[in-house]
Structure 1
Amino acid sequence: MWFSLGRSEGFPTQYPANASAVHFDTLEVGIIVAFVILMICFAISIPSTNRKTNIHAYARIFLQLLIGLLVLLGNFGQDWETAVVQVKTPYKAGIAAEIEASIGIHIGLRSVNVTLKSNSSNPELKNEIIDYNERFTWTWDQGNFGFGPFAGRLQQEFRAAQLRGVPTPILWVVDYFVIDGEGFRYGRFYRTSGWYCHILMWTAFATWLLALILFRSVIVYGGYCLGMTGLLQLAANLLWVVVKNPSPLVIPFDGVILTTAYGVSFWITFVNGLLSVISAISIIIMDQKYDDLLYTFFDVDPLTSFDEISYLTPEEESVLRHKEVRQDIPLIPMRQSVEEEEEDQNVEYIPVYKKRGTVRYRHHVALPPPVPREKKPRHLMNQVV
Structure 2
Amino acid sequence: MTLWNGVLPFYPQPRHAAYFSVPLLIVILVFLALAASFLLVLPGIRGHSRWFWLVRVLLSLFIGAEIVAVHFSAEWSVGRVSTNTSYKAFSAARIRAHVGLLVGLEGINITLKGTPVQQLNETIDYNEQFSWRLGEDYAEEYEDALEKGLPDPVLYLAEKFTPSSPCGLYRQYRLAGRYASATLWVAFCFWLLSNALLSMPVPLYGGLALLITGSFALFAIFAFATISNVPLCAFRLGSSALTTHYGAAFWVTLATGILCLLLGGAVVSLHYARPSALRTFLDRSVKDHSSQAKEGSPLVLSNPLHTQPGAQGLRITTDL
TM beyond 0.5: yes
Quick one: higher RCO (CA 8 Å, sep 6+), 1 or 2?
2
Task: State the Cα deviation string for residues 45-97 of structure 1 (Å, max 9, x = none).
Answer: 34457253222211110111111111112232211100000011111224442
2:170 partner letter? G
Hey, which of these two has a bigger chunk of helix by percent? 2
Q: Distance in 1 between matches of 2:189 and 2:198?
A: 14
Which of structures 1 and 2 has the bigger CA Rg? Answer: 1
| CA apart distance, 1:43 | 1.8
Q: Distance in 2 between matches of 1:304 and 1:181?
A: 68
Match for residue 133 of structure 2? 139
Match for residue 242 of structure 1? 226
Go from structure 1 to structure 2 and tell me whether the alpha carbon gap of 1:121 and 1:188 turns closer, same or farther (over 3 Å shift).
closer
SS of residue matched to 2:232: coil
Which of 183, 188, 192 is equivalent to 1:209? 192
Is structure 2 residue 193 aligned with structure 1 residue 197?
Answer: no
Which of 71, 80, 86 is equivalent to 2:76? 80
SS of residue matched to 1:129: strand
Task: State the Cα deviation string for residues 256-283 of structure 1 (Å, max 9, x = none).
Answer: 1111000000001100000000010011
| CA apart distance, 1:311 | 4.1
SS of residue matched to 1:84: strand
Please, which runs of 5 or more residues in structure 1 have no aligned partner? 1-15, 142-151, 314-343, 349-378
| CA apart distance, 1:295 | 1.5
| CA apart distance, 1:243 | 1.3
Task: State the Cα deviation string for residues 199-254 of structure 1 (Å, max 9, x = none).
Answer: 00000000000001101111111110111010101111111111125213531122
How large is the Cα RMSD of the aligned pairs?
A: 2.9
Is structure 2 residue 99 aligned with structure 1 residue 116?
Answer: no
Q: How does 1:254-293 map onto structure 2 within 5 Å? A: 254-293=238-277
Q: Distance in 2 between matches of 1:17 and 1:82?
A: 28
Does the 8 Å CA contact 1:180/1:188 hold for their aligned counterparts? no
| CA apart distance, 1:18 | 8.2
Does the 8 Å CA contact 2:14/2:125 hold for their aligned counterparts? no
Q: How does 1:201-350 map onto structure 2 within 5 Å? A: 201-217=184-200, 218-244=202-228, 246-300=230-284, 301-302=287-288, 311=298, 346-348=313-315
Percent of aligned pairs with the same amino acid: 30
Go from structure 1 to structure 2 and tell me whether the alpha carbon gap of 1:226 and 1:98 turns closer, same or farther (over 3 Å shift).
same
Task: State the Cα deviation string for residues 82-121 of structure 1 (Å, max 9, x = none).
Answer: 0000011111224442110000000011110000001448
Match for residue 29 of structure 1? 25
Match for residue 187 of structure 1? 170
SS of residue matched to 1:347: coil
Q: Distance in 2 between matches of 1:268 and 1:283?
A: 22
TM-score between both structures, scaled by the size of structure 2: 0.83
Q: Distance in 2 between matches of 1:298 and 1:173?
A: 51
Please, which runs of 5 or more residues in structure 2 have no aligned partner? 1-11, 301-310
Q: Distance in 2 between matches of 1:249 and 1:58?
A: 48
Does the 8 Å CA contact 1:292/1:302 hold for their aligned counterparts? no
